[in-house]
Amino acid sequence: MRAVDALMACLKAEGVDVVFGLPGGANLPTYDAFVDAGIRHILVRHEAGGGHAAEGYAKATGKVGVAFATSGPGATNLITPICDAMMDSVPVVFITGQVRTELLGTDGFQEADTIGITMPVVKHSFMIQHPQELPRAIHEAFHIARSGRPGPVLVDIPQDLSRAEIDYEPVGDVRLPGYQPRVEGNQKQIRQAAKALAAAQRPVIYAGGGVVNANGSEELIEFATSDRFPVTCTLMGLGAFPAPHAQWLGMLGMHGTRAANYAMDEADLICAVGARFDDRITGKLSEFAPRAKFIHIDVDPAEISKNVPAHIPIVGDAKHVLAKLVVEYRATGADPARLNAWWTRIEGWREKYPLGYEDSTDSEIKPQYMIKALFEATGGEAIVTSDVGQHQMWAAQYYDFPAPRRWINSGGLGTMGFGLPAAMGAAVGCSDRLVCCIAGDGSVQMNAQELATCAQNNIPIKVFIMNNGYLGMVRQWQELFWDGRYSHVDMGQFPDFVKLAEAYGVTGMRLEDKGTLVEDFKRAIATDGPVLVDVRVTREENTYPMIPAGQPAREMVG
């Protein structure tokens, strides 16, 4: 059998039901194998779209996403999705074609040093040097991508090796002596954490994307409600704890709620779970949570004490550790009444500083209202993807996510153009659920070509463009921190998104009236197939509240 036919067998053995990709010269053998493989392949219009679609698929389903590209420019077009998957710990296997081995290192046509270029942004990579190695490399790639802290793994296959004949034997194991992620958590440390929690007067649970990745949401809820622990989540963790909930403080960080940020600031004990103390969370590091001791639970030991020194480090995944922690915590017999004063303080912040905005008095659509209307129109039950910018923050603030894997966005890398292809991937992976993309008019243009993919394959995503004609977040920063000197942020009203939608064979709508917005959204959602909705919103609205970059939480504005 050819190595590429073995590749298909390996994908099936890994349970792959769909992949995203684009063929080219160096992966012609692979695409020949697709003809008879019985694996659904979705032809994208740009490799970056394919990569983000694989990410969206992985985030929505919890399974490993797969993206294919050819050598050279095909592979370099994958760099952004690979880096994005690295930053947000998304399990994706990227399989690239490479020039024939005799051409390697000669600057051959469409040759790029894919392994070298991607090395800083992959969890691991495999350069196939003998065709016989391919099946094992594929299985090891899947194993590495999905286990421990998930991430992107790349397999680069020279064209001549991919078509070579091999003796294919199914591979049932992995041989990775240098890769043994620890998920269980040290029992002694967990007990110590339970005792610290029992002693805490002002505790906060700070949960991140690691809870979602570990499918640890139920354990988080059980742990948090085993007492009245206040819970906040990072942008990546939204949905890991249901919103709204009596113990839910809202998102924390730069555009988080005051209740969440002030609680972190005054906490005496912070229990970080699957979160990495990113600068968008901590603000000025030296003034971050100055009164707190830290329990840090993470499957990646290198995250513990990287930015904030931990008092109780626990290496393990959220699901395993929280399940044990709740048992240990209950056994301490801690008195919930000790948290009364803390809750009084938190309730004070909640009442004084709710999320809010000044609504229009006419038909103008405020961007915040747009999110609330979408929440209402979807009953809060959609999978929502987003691009990056103001619309992303408003979506995070105003769409209450009741469950994990409903909120899919690019948090770490902050990739504009992520939302539309990610929605496409999510919709392919979760065909029974409504998938909406909340996009910016700037961001959506960075991967709008995938509308063609959606139209051709009838992938029924509903894309809602929050159109203010600006690169809105950059405009906001120029207004607030650069004396209002707007520099290259005005996008005008180009393109005509309704016409663009129609050109791609997608239903296009334009909405400008607040009064009918919920009904109009319901109409868009009820429309068969992919829909692109151009929602005209207030042009110069700012995202608040906000911790200015490099400032402590106490300095929140707006």
Partner 1 sequence: MGEPGTKEPLSLEELEAATNLRTGRKHVLSILVENKSGVLTRIAGLFARRGFNIDTLTVGPTDDEAVSRVTLTVDGAVHPIDQVTKQLHKLVNVLKIRDLEPGDTVSRELALFKVAADGVQRGELLQIAEIFRGKVVDVTKRAIIIEVTGTTEKIAAFETMVRPFGLIEMMRTGEIAISRGRTET
Contact residues for partner 1 (CB under 8 A)? Answer: 115-116, 119-120, 123-124, 127, 129, 144, 176-179, 187-188, 191-192, 194-196, 198-200, 268-269, 293-294, 300-302, 305-306, 309-313, 327-328, 330-333
Q: Residue 120 CB, nearest distance to partner 1 (Å)?
A: 5
Instruction: Measure the CA–CA gap between 214 and 237, rounded to whole angstroms.
Output: 11
Enter the tokens of residue 442: 């700037």
Q: How far apart are CA 388 and CA 84, in angstroms?
A: 12
Between 293 and 522, name the residue whose CB sits nearer to partner 1: 293
Nearer Cβ to partner 1, position 182 or 245?
182
What is the separation, in whole angstroms, between the first and last Cα of the chain?
Answer: 64
Report the residue number, 192 or 225, with the smaller CB distance to partner 1.
192
Residue 66 Cα distances to 75, 118, 336, 377, angstroms: 14, 16, 47, 32
Nearest to 46 by CA among 347, 418, 502: 418
Least distance (Å) between residue 89 CB and partner 1:
12
Tokens of residue 310, six digits: 């931990």
Q: Least distance (Å) from partner 1 to the CB of residue 309?
A: 4
Beta carbon of residue 135, minimum distance to partner 1 (angstroms, whole number):
17
> Is the CB of 31 or the CB of 342 nearer to partner 1?
342
Cβ-contact 214, 315 below 8 angstroms: no
Do 320 and 184 meet the contact criterion of CB atoms below 8 Å apart? Answer: yes
Burial status of residue 102 (CB atoms within 10 A of its CB: 0-12, 13-18, 19 or more): exposed
Quote the tokens at residue 226. 């085993």
Bridge pairing between strands 18-21 and 152-158: unpaired
Q: How far is the CB of 199 from partner 1 (least distance, A)?
A: 5
Q: Least Å distance between CB 83 and partner 1?
A: 12
Name the residue among 143, 161, 150, 51 with its Cα closest to residue 98: 161
Nearer to partner 1, 145 or 533 (CB): 145
Residues in CB range of 302: below 8 A, 6 or more apart: none
Min separation Cβ 313 and partner 1, Å: 7
Q: Which is nearer to partner 1, 198 or 448 (CB)?
A: 198
Compare residues 267 and 444 and give the one whose CB is closer to partner 1: 267
SS3 per-residue string spanning 357-401? CCCCCCCCECHHHHHHHHHHHHCCCCEEEECCCHHHHHHHHHCCC
- In the complex, minimum distance from the CB of residue 328 to partner 1, in angstroms, rounded to a whole number: 5
> Residue 164 or residue 174: which is nearer to partner 1 going by CB?
174
Residues 558 and 546 sit within 8 Å (Cβ to Cβ):
yes
**Could you tell me the two tokens for 307?**
């930015």
User: Residue 299 is encoded by which pair of tokens?
Assistant: 């499957």
Q: CB of residue 56 vs partner 1: minimum separation in angstroms? A: 25
Smallest separation (angstroms) from partner 1 to the CB of 491: 33
d(CA 92, CA 71): 18
CA distance 231 to 251: 9
- Rounded least distance, CB 149 to partner 1, Å: 8
Q: Which CA distances in Å does 84 have to 81, 394, 414?
A: 5, 21, 8
Nearer to partner 1, 118 or 390 (CB): 118
**Whole-number Å distance between alpha carbons of 392 and 358:** 19
Q: 308 — phi, psi (to 5°)? A: -125, 120
CA distances from 168 to 95, 132, 313, 533 (A): 19, 8, 44, 49
CB 205, min distance to partner 1, A? 16
Q: Measured from the CB atom, is 121 or 374 closer to partner 1?
A: 121
Residues in the chain, how many?
A: 558
Cβ proximity to partner 1, 286 vs 361, nearer residue: 286
8-state DSSP, 97: E
Closest by CA position to 170, among listed 5, 43, 417, 56: 5
**Smaller CB separation from partner 1, 230 or 389:** 230
